[in-house]
Amino acid sequence: MSSDLTTRASELRDELNYHIYRYNVLGSPVITDGEYDKMYHELKALEAEHPELITPDSPTQRAGSDLSEDFPKVKHPAPILSLANAFSEDDLKAWEERNLKLLPAGTQLGYTLEPKLDGLTIVITYENGYLVQAATRGNGELGDDVTANVRTIRNVPLKIPVDKNGPKAPERLVVRGEVMFHKKDFAALNKKQEAEGLPLYVNARNTASGTLKQKDSRITASRPLIAYLYSVVAISGTKWDTQWDILNNLRDLGFSTAPHAEFYPTLSDIIQQLPTWESRRRTLDFEIDGVVLKINDLKIQAELGYSGKDPRGAIAYKFPAEEMTTKLLGVTANIGRTGRVTPTAQLEPVFIGGVTVVNASLHNYDQIAKLDIRLGDTVIIKRSGEVIPYVIGPVIGARDGSETAILPPTNCPSCNTPIVQPEGFVDFICPNPLCPERVFRSIEFFVSRGAMDIESMGPQTVKILIDRKLIQDEADIFTLKPESFEGIEGFGEKKIDNLMKSIEAAKTRPLAQLVCSLGIDGVGSVVAGLLADKFGSIDAIQSATVEAIDDIEGIGPILAQGIAEWFADERHRNLLDKFRAVGINPQNKAKVAAGDGLTGSTFVLTGTLPTLSREQAEALIESHGGKVSGSVSKKTSYVLMGDTPGSKADKARTLGVPIISEEQLLEMISGNPTQSNNPTDDNPQNPA
């Protein structure tokens, strides 16, 4: 056997033993569970292939211990074992194949699939229905007696069955489960810490563990732990045959069992469920780090026995790690469009859940101080789904004293204006509205998808246009002409054509979209929609009082004040004037309630209308029962004509189809036609 493998096994043993010591003895781990699992799995695989590498000090030869001096010890009625891990579909298939080889030919294996709850094991004993003892896992044989603490957990029954009409309790029942915090309760606990000026908790599981092992059970009682039960360690007076029965019986007796547990008849059914579980993970009330597969038939589980210390009949499928540790190399201060200074962590590259992460959010400087994150710290990074990776907190135990404090910049890194922290704000602000970075961010936001959605104008283009002084604000975008781009590298005819087309298309965005794109603090699409609905035009919003804005349901007084101030600001007024000058002044005609005044009429649109976009006009007609058609015929009731009409107007004249303006359309809808201006007056066959 190669000496490389011997060396690697020895390295892994030493590393793992060190981390076990940090976790269990010092209570200050320096790596995440995911990182530990990876090393453990590697050693386990090495040892499986080369059993001669197994040494007595290998961490695979013992299950860890979390025993503490503070509690009397309890002997578990059966060993409280851990589970082998699988990290891929192939691992699961290999697990099933190994098991099938040990079982009589033709054995069909059905499985339960349960969430792998990310808490700590608890073992609770009931005698004649009464809770008589509760213990931690400890070293698997002996656990800490935490009965007084477990009695404070609100969903752990002190007597079973909870419902007196429920099934009879077994004479003696020892159940196993997991104690943890619900995500929202952990967040609330941290809010409380924050309010009291105390350090924040970084990790829910460690906090749950610390809470369960309080010497004073009043402290445990003050924190909302929760327990989910999932297996039976010992039972007398009755017998349950399958894992599925166990879950159902436990629930009937009044225990909480983990939601979404299911029985599946084959492994391939289970494999199909894995993506659902990975996405469900984020929506659950509690943290899970994988799923557990258990052979349903308990007789088969017993027959399979153990491989080392792991039962063969169950396995944990672990999700790709979401949390990893790495070094915090630096912090950059980014300036947003509102001037907010946000710190971003520069990290030693770390691979998390399939991607290499080099930057992560640090939220704000207040949070950095509260979590006591320092430059040079080993930090825990979380990357979950589409959310931007963020720094959870520092690994205090990994400090060597060289770490330094992280402070907000004194001056804006872009315009050098002194940074301020307005009273009562957690954020630091660059107060200079002309700060080049703020201007860039505002325009970048204005053109982005979800705002004005000016396709083909990405941040790069915005930068180039600002650098070349072709635009200084959002309104300047609408003054760009194809010639503006002449001689700019990378701007070929096609690109310019696309840009001009998307700018043109953006000119007709509805009022709410424009308001949302202005980047007013606190005004996203919902609030923008409320403003557009209530006031109907930029002019009306601009002249609205704080009280009128505050009157809108869904807008509070502080936001109303902020909105009014934004519209009162001279620079913003100038910007809005510039928008009007380039023809951007949307009116929310959709404010007119839907009705059926146009039922039976067919409209054809031609030319550019003064305030409504084509889409808005069509929507308006349809919402009042009318139809819109693409070509003019004798059947056309009206041609709605704007500026620079096409041949449709001529055709309408030839066929004698009445031509109306936007204003007339709006009057028809409001049921108040202006006869005098009606170009159809001289046409008696008109149904108008």
Chain residues binding ligand IVH by CB under 6 A are 81-83, 114, 116-117, 121, 178, 230-231, 258, 292, 311, 314, 316
The candidate with the shortest Cα–Cα distance to 79, out of 60, 61, 63, 99, is 63
Yes or no: say if 31 and 21 are a contact pair by the CB < 8 Å rule.
no
For the four alpha carbons of 481, 482, 484 and 489, in that order, the dihedral sign comes to positive
**Closest C-alpha among 43, 51, 52, 44 to residue 10:** 43
Q: How far is the CB of 120 from ligand IVH (least distance, A)?
A: 7
| Residue whose C-alpha is closest to residue 610's, from 585, 639, 593 | 585
Residue placing its CB nearer to ligand IVH in the complex, 316 or 527: 316
Q: How far is the CB of 252 from ligand IVH (least distance, A)?
A: 18
Q: Minimum CB separation from ligand IVH for residue 422, in Å?
A: 46
Is 84 or 200 the residue whose CB approaches ligand IVH more closely? Answer: 84
Nearest CB to ligand IVH, comparing residues 39 and 540: 39
User: Where in the sequence numbering do the catalytic residues fall?
Assistant: 116
> What beta strand segments (E) does 35-151 contain?
73-75, 84-86, 111-117, 120-127, 130-136, 142-144
Nearest approach, Cβ of residue 177 and ligand IVH (Å): 8
Distance of alpha carbon 636 from alpha carbon 239, whole angstroms: 80
- CA angle at 259 for the pair 254 and 260, rounded to the nearest 5°: 135
CA distances from 123 to 76, 79, 173, 307 (A): 8, 11, 10, 23
CB of 138 to ligand IVH, least distance (A): 12
Q: Classify burial at 598, counting beta carbons within 10 Å of its beta carbon; exposed 0-12, middle 13-18, buried 19 or more.
A: buried
One-letter identity of residue 17? N
Which residue's CB is nearer to ligand IVH, number 316 or number 640?
316
Give the separation between CA 680 and CA 660, rounded to whole angstroms. 8
Residue the block writes with tokens 């693409």: 630
- Run of H or E including 663: helix 662-670
With a CB cutoff of 8 Å and minimum separation 6, the contacts of 58 are 9, 13, 43, 47
Q: Decide whether 313 or 626 has the Cβ nearer to ligand IVH.
A: 313
Report the C-alpha gap between 351 and 339 in whole angstroms. 32
As measured in angstroms, the least distance from the Cβ of 117 to ligand IVH is: 4
CA distance to 12, 264, 330, per residue, from 273 (Å): 33, 10, 41
Shortest spacing between CB 228 and ligand IVH, in angstroms: 8
In the complex with ligand IVH, the residue whose CB is nearer, 228 or 365, is 228
The number of beta carbons lying within 10 Å of the beta carbon of residue 122 is 27
Helices (H) and strands (E) in the chain, counts: 23, 23
Of 318 and 340, the one with the shorter C-beta distance to ligand IVH is: 318
Question: Nearest approach, Cβ of 231 to ligand IVH (angstroms)?
Answer: 5
In sequence order, what DSSP letters do the residues of 289-302 get, joined into one string?
EEEEEEESBHHHHH
Please list the helix, strand and coil fractions of the chain in percent, rounded to the nearest 5, in that order. Answer: 40, 20, 40
CA distances from 629 to 155, 243, 621 (A): 63, 64, 11
Rank residues 231 and 296 by Cβ distance to ligand IVH and give the closer one. 231
Q: Quick one: 175 or 406, whose CB is closer to ligand IVH?
A: 175
The amino acid sitting at 155 is N
Nearest approach, Cβ of residue 264 and ligand IVH (Å): 15
Residue closer to ligand IVH by CB (options 81, 464) is: 81
Q: Are 654 and 647 in contact (CB under 8 A)?
A: no
State phi, psi for 382 to the nearest 5 degrees.
-115, 135
Min. distance of Cβ 178 from ligand IVH in angstroms?
A: 5
